[in-house]
Structure formats: C-alpha cells, structure tokens
Amino acid sequence: QKEVEQDPGPLSVPEGAIVSLNCTYSNSAFQYFMWYRQYSRKGPELLMYTYSSGNKEDGRFTAQVDKSSKYISLFIRDSQPSDSATYLCAMSVIKAAGNKLTFGGGTRVLVKP
C-alpha cells in the first residue's frame, strides 16, 4: 500500500462546477500538506499549503485537512478551462528543508467549456 493514495482520474467537470479532489494517507506523522497544479510539460506549481486540521481558503481554492481521518481535500470553485491540469497532493513529516515530500499519484482534471 502506498503511503499517499490519490485517484488518478480523469475527473471531467463542466465549466463553473466545483472540482473536488482528495488524498488519503497512512502515515500519521505527516504534519504539512501541499497541493500542486501541474500543466503538461511544466513543473508543479504550489497552490495551497496547510499544516493544521481544518479549512484554508485562497481565492477559488479551499484546502481541507482532517488529520483524524488521514484525509485531505482541495476544492476549486467556479472552475475554468484553464484549471484543466494534473493536481498533486504532497506531504511531509517535518518542516526541515532537507526533509523530502511524499507525493500522491496525481489526479487529472478536465474542465469542459
């Protein structure tokens, strides 16, 4: 079993819909959680970073962490065709710069006009 599980999709939604993404993890030591967006042939771009249970909102994006259930989510409101990309969750145990991230496999999202 992988440490971080993420549905590969593809997830297809109409423009304007809410995109709901999630990851589950098995290592209860994970404390820091990130969501990245990756367009084809580009490096991942950091969207959200959280370290506590609960919700964090930034514009159209909301990140949710439930440490008791080992479950994190990303919601994208009013989705646009430009949101079509692969979304990766990542997490780490400690903040130290040398501590590597553990990634989910990524979910491919397609927002149809």
Partner 1 sequence: GAVVSQHPSWVICKSGTSVKIECRSLDFQATTMFWYRQFPKQSLMLMATSNEGSKATYEQGVEKDKFLINHASLTLSTLTVTSAHPEDSSFYICSARDGWTGSAEAFFGQGTRLTVV
Q: Closest CB to partner 1 among 35 and 111?
A: 35
Tokens standing for residue 97: 């710069």
Applying CB under 8 A, does 92 fall inside the site for partner 1? yes
The nearest distance, CB 44 to partner 1, in angstroms, is 5
CA distance 49 to 58: 10
Q: Nearest CA to 75 among 96, 95, 65, 99?
A: 65
Q: Is the bond preceding residue 14 a cis peptide, omega within 30 degrees? A: no
Residues touching partner 1: how many (CB under 8 A)?
26
Interacting residue ranges for partner 1, rule: CB under 8 A: 32, 34, 36, 41-46, 49, 51, 88, 90, 92, 94-98, 100-101, 103-106, 108
